[in-house]
Chain A
């Protein structure tokens, strides 16, 4: 399967600051990546679809101005949480699609906003 990395693995920031999370596809070129968030003991919630060279597609209820997604290359997508607040604290996971419609996930980034 595909290998996906995320950086950082965890981050603590102050309320009001912005945080950038990177998602890298290490062994193939990914035209599409997905961003999820996961609250404790809950399932994954799709936030947006990141498309290389074009604007991301956001799911209903996800604020595009708060969660900025950039997919500038075939191996890198970034998620920036702008003006973070404590309610943004969560586990953020990215994935890529490889082969026949199969998603491979990164290890996740835990964000804690104080």
Chain B
């Protein structure tokens, strides 16, 4: 069965510093991969997605992610973090069955000024 692992439960970075959130997946075929962000008490907003093609994908709010098949990873990056980026970030993989998503446990990002 497919699974998604986000090894870091909580990350703290200074405003202006770079950010990398890790995501590893387990899936038999080439997956569809997603990153979502959730602010407190809110729903999830799609940051970016990977289906095929260029392994470096650009998203909204200056985020990007790189698909690495050899490492089964889809890490999210941002070169310079803003205080407003503080939120919960979820990596997800499309299971291929009825459009269902499997989510990671999430990484809470804290930004210090």
Identify the A interface with B (CB < 8 A): 1, 4, 6, 32, 34, 41-44, 46, 49, 57, 91, 93, 95, 97, 100-108, 110
Contacts and interface: CB of A to CB of B under 8 A. Distances in A.
B98 A43 contact: no
Nearest to B99: A97
Contact of B43 (A41, A100, A106): A106
Q: Chain A: interface secondary structure?
A: strand
Contacts of B100: 34, 46, 49
Contact of A107 (B42, B46, B105, B108): B42
Q: Chain B: interface secondary structure?
A: strand
A43 B99 contact: no
Given A104-B46, A105-B45, A44 B98 contact: no
Contacts of B51: 100-101
B101 interface: yes
Nearest to A59: B100
A102 B99 CA distance: 8
